[in-house]
Each structure stands twice: as C-alpha cells, then as structure tokens.
Structure 1
Amino acid sequence: MTTALAHPTAEPRARFVDLAAAEWLKLWSLRSTGWSLLVAALAVLAFNAGKAWDNVRYWPEGEPGYAERFIADGIPLMHAFTTDAGTVMMLAAGAFGALAVTGEYSTGLVRTTFAAVPARRSVMTAKVCVVATVMAVFGAVVAAVSFAATQAILSTEDAGVTLDHPGALRLVVASALLAPVAALVGAALGTLIRHGAGAVVGSVLILLLLPLVLDEDRHWSAVLAHAMPYVAWMRLGDSAYHPGAVPYPWTTGGAWTVYALWALAAAAVTVTTVHRRDQ
C-alpha cells in the first residue's frame, strides 16, 4: 500500500477525440457562432437568388431561343454562385477561422488550455480539424441550397440547369470548399498575429485584395494570380472558359492544386507556429 501511494499512477494523455470534442464545445458554446454562420449563409443566398430573380424579372418576352442562348452562354452557372457571393463567403469564412483562434488569446483561455494539455500541436490540430469540418459542412449546405434556389428561379423561364449540366457539379464543389480553405487561412493568420482585428484584416488583404492588384495579362503577375484561392475558385466556376481566351491559360487541375496547397500550408502554420511561441 505504501509503495502504491509513493508512486501514483500517471494521468493518461488526452486522446485526440477528447481534444476535438473540447474544441467543438468551445466553438459552439459561443452564441455568436451559430448566428454569424446563419447571417453569412443568408447573405450569400441573397446575392445569388437576387441575381437570378433580376434575370427573371426583366426576361425578354417573345424572343425565340433566348433561354437556349442563356444556358449556352453559361449564365445559369454564373448566377448559381456569383462573385459577390464568393466574396462574402471568403470574408465570413476567413473571419470565422481567425476568431476561432484569437478568441482564446483575447480571453486568456489559451493559457488554461495549454496548461491542461501541454501538447500544443495536438490541441491546434484538433482545432484545425473542427474549424475545417464546420466550414466544409457550412460551405456544402450553402452551395447546394444556392444552386437549387437559383436554378428553381431560372426554371420559371425554362432557363435553369441541373447538377449534371457540364460544369455544374464542379462549381458547387469549388464553392463549397472555398469556405474551409478561407477559414484555414484565417486560422493561420490568427495563430501568427494573435489579435482578432489584425487577423481578420490580414485575411481580407490576402484572400480578397491581393488578387485584385494582380494582372493576368503579364506572365509573372498571372502566375501569382493563379496561385490565389479566389482566382482558383473563379477558374473552377467558369464553365465557359476557353484556354485560348486569355494570354496565360491554366487548367482546372492547377486550380484544385491551389486549393489543396493553401489548405495544407495554412493548417501546417496553425499547428507548428504555436509550439515555438509563448502563450
């Protein structure tokens, strides 16, 4: 008995599933989480449905073949997820990822977290997995509902398309994955900056403003532009794209690669940076 008291059993290390559950609870314990996602979803849907409704409202009556030309030009897919909606999606997702990390720094909860679980990389890996999962589901729901709603509106003039239309599924998947990619970039910036406002501004600069200053008419600038998630999403969503229509064309495979590299790089920064810094 004396020996057992002198050498107490070591406390088992936290399992990864427990860390993920803890991050899930911390995320959803904030009332603002659900409301922010709902507002972002409604904003994205409003932009897309509003654009489709404008076309139906001002539809030229008595013009034979207009609906066929409308579909042939790829306009139904352009309205299924507009550039305005993509911008809102990236803004919301980037801010979500940034605040998911910086919220713990602003409240001081990060010290408690790392004191309870010294394995910082495991904690941040769990956070990355939770943020990516939540935003992937969010993106999938918003993209699917948006596609269904816009095509239902356009179908009142026989101008809607189905998911098996060329380019439609690619557009929906690319739009859905835009959310987790942007959220992971925001989380990486949150880990580096550790300040909510700074991380949100940084995500806006990198995800949205930087692509605007890059010109695709020059080779070096086109290469940089093609490496940005926003431009990759536009490439994947452009069903009417023709390789010879731009000076420096690129492939859909390259755009998918950009998605993957940004997500992996952002996750790596989030997980590894915190191990080398104080709380």
Structure 2
Amino acid sequence: MPTPTPTTPARLHPARFPDLIAAEWLKLSCRRLLLLSLFLAPPCTAALSWFLCSGVDLVGTRGRTDFDRLAASFDHGVWGLLMIGAAVIGALSFTGEDASGLIRTTFIAVPDRRRVLLAKAAVSAVVATAVGVPTAIASFGTSQAVLSGKGLGLALGDPGVARGFLAACVLLPTAALLGLAVGVLVRHRAGAVFAVFVTLGVVPEPIPEGGRFLAEAANLMPRNAWSALVGLGTADDELGPYPPSVTHSWLVLAGWPLALLTAAALVLRRRDL
C-alpha cells in the first residue's frame, strides 16, 4: 500500500503594487459614461472659451482695462464644474465599491488597506491629469487665439501666465484626490457627492463679500485659491478686497487633498467594513 506523501501548501504572495494599479484601472474603465464625460472636457471647454472671449468687444473701453486676459482663459464657472465632476468621480471610485460590497473582497485580497488607497489615488490622479492637461491647453490656446486678434493676447512667458496654466493643469487631479478622500471618509455615495458639491461649489461663492474674517476663511477653500492663481489681479477677478497670496494659494491647493488623504488612510485602517 503506497504511503501518501505530505504536500506543502502553496505560498500566497502578496499582491504587487502594479497589480493593484491594473485592478483599479479595470474598475475605473468600467465606468464608461463617467470617463466619456471627462474626455469631452477639452473640446467643450475650448468651445466655451471661444464663445466667452469673442464677446470682449462688447464690454467697452473701461471693461477692456479691467478685463483679466488670463482668467478669461480659465472661466471660473466652467472650471468649477470640471473640478466638481473630477471630485465626484474620485468619490465614486470608493463609494461605488463600498456600496456593492466589492471593497471587502479587495481588502481580503490585500489586507494592507493603505496600499489599496494609494493605488486608487494613483489611478485617479493619472486619469485626471490626462484630462486636465489637454483641457488646459485647449482652453488657453483657444482663448488666446481669439484675444490675440483683438490685441489682448498673452504668451506663456508673460508674468503670471505660466503659473496660471500650471494651476489649471493640476486642478482636476487635485479635485479627484480630494473627492476620493471624501468618499473614504463619508462612505455613503450620495453623502460623498453632496459633501463634494458643498465644499467645492456652494461654500466658496458668498464668503469673500462678508468682511475680512470671512474673506480669510474663503481663501482657505481650494476653489478660491485656484481662482487667485489663474488671475492677474485685475478688478475683473472678483477675488474680493483680501485676495490670497500666490504661496498661500499653492499651499491650500496642495494641502486639501494631502490632509484629507492622510485622514482617510487613518480612518480606513481602523474602520470595520
């Protein structure tokens, strides 16, 4: 009678980080409608820039003096919507998994939850950057082509222009990371979307008109910090009497996603799912 030979159990190797990146990209690519809406941003933004800059002759001589030729390239309303859209997609990248229960399977396969969060952040940032940079190029190029024909054009080498262009390039990845962190902290799909909309769309609007204290509070909001970076400081900027400095604006823009992602990593490590 043959003696059975003992078998050694197969060793389970931890998932490599490139595997996590590939898995997160696969999950995101399944949201085709959301991705399509993002990749429509460059042509739509270019068309709106052409429309808005074509009407500069209607503002008169005084209006042309106050006209901010850089801010016109990155309309606050249009880019504010893009910012909210990128943040919503970032939030849904976690809350969608959490609602379906797939996140539990992910954490069973990868017990180190911080690695999963880092992979989600990397994919969200790369996709948002792949959209944000062409959108900034299309918006700036179209608007300056129109304004150059009216004697108001700017070049990237002019003071403050490169700063504003860079701020436009990083806005969408910043918003996507912020939204991802909010999604982890809130966990509820509708709640995360509401929190993103209030933080990026509602709160920044009325505060600058309420005196110095509220103006300083408004300067801590990411959207207002971005608006200061893409403006040349003319009366047309609508930043109020106490605009933030350039350094302050960069710190705010970088600090929001960094602080929220740090909080999300701590909460995710301790929370039961």
TM-score (normalised: structure 1): 0.85
Q: 1:265 aligns with which of 254, 259, 267?
A: 259
Query: Equivalents in 2 of 1:152, 1:132: separation in Å?
Result: 29
SS of residue matched to 1:212? coil
Q: Cα gap change, 1:54/1:249 in structure 2, threshold over 3 Å: closer, same or farther?
A: closer
Q: Which amino acid aligns with 2:200?
A: L
Q: Which residue of 2 aligns with 1:63?
A: none
Moved more, 123-132 or 24-33: 24-33
Query: Equivalents in 1 of 2:215, 2:66: separation in Å?
Result: 25
Structure 2 residue ranges without an equivalent (≥5): none
Q: Which residue of 1 aligns with 2:248?
A: 254
Q: Can you list the C-alpha shifts for 1:220-250, whole angstroms capped at 9, x where unaligned?
A: 32221111101101111121359xx965453
Once the two structures are TM-superposed, the CA of residue 128 in structure 1 deviates from its matched residue by 0.9
Q: Which amino acid aligns with 2:17?
A: F
Report the RMSD for the aligned CA atoms in angstroms.
2.5
Q: 1:205 aligns with which of 171, 188, 198?
A: 198
Query: Equivalents in 1 of 2:166, 2:241: separation in Å?
Result: 27
SS of residue matched to 2:204? helix
Query: Equivalents in 1 of 2:163, 2:232: separation in Å?
Result: 9
TM-score (normalised: structure 2): 0.87
Which structure 2 residues correspond to residues 1-279 of structure 1 after superposition, within 5 A?
A: 2=5, 5-6=7-8, 8-55=9-56, 58=58, 70=64, 73=66, 75-215=68-208, 218-240=211-233, 247-279=241-273
Query: Equivalents in 2 of 1:257, 1:241: separation in Å?
Result: 22
Q: Can you list the C-alpha shifts for 1:90-127, whole angstroms capped at 9, x where unaligned?
A: 22111111111112123222122122222211111110
Query: Equivalents in 2 of 1:33, 1:92: separation in Å?
Result: 9
Residue pair 2:132, 2:170 contacting (<8 A) in 1 also = yes
Once the two structures are TM-superposed, the CA of residue 26 in structure 1 deviates from its matched residue by 1.3
Moved more, 105-114 or 198-207: 105-114
Query: Equivalents in 2 of 1:251, 1:75: separation in Å?
Result: 17
Query: Equivalents in 2 of 1:249, 1:108: separation in Å?
Result: 45
Q: Can you list the C-alpha shifts for 1:166-217, whole angstroms capped at 9, x where unaligned?
A: 2211111112212122212211121122222221111010112111242355
Q: Cα gap change, 1:209/1:176 in structure 2, threshold over 3 Å: closer, same or farther?
A: same
Query: Equivalents in 2 of 1:114, 1:252: separation in Å?
Result: 41
Q: Can you list the C-alpha shifts for 1:131-173, whole angstroms capped at 9, x where unaligned?
A: 1121122211111111001111222223222211222111111
SS of residue matched to 2:157? coil
Once the two structures are TM-superposed, the CA of residue 33 in structure 1 deviates from its matched residue by 3.4
Residue pair 2:49, 2:72 contacting (<8 A) in 1 also = yes
Query: Equivalents in 2 of 1:106, 1:43: separation in Å?
Result: 32
What is the aligned length?
Answer: 266
Residue pair 1:43, 1:85 contacting (<8 A) in 2 also = no
Q: Can you list the C-alpha shifts for 1:1-48, whole angstroms capped at 9, x where unaligned?
A: 946x24x34211111121112111211132223212134444433432
Once the two structures are TM-superposed, the CA of residue 59 in structure 1 deviates from its matched residue by 8.4
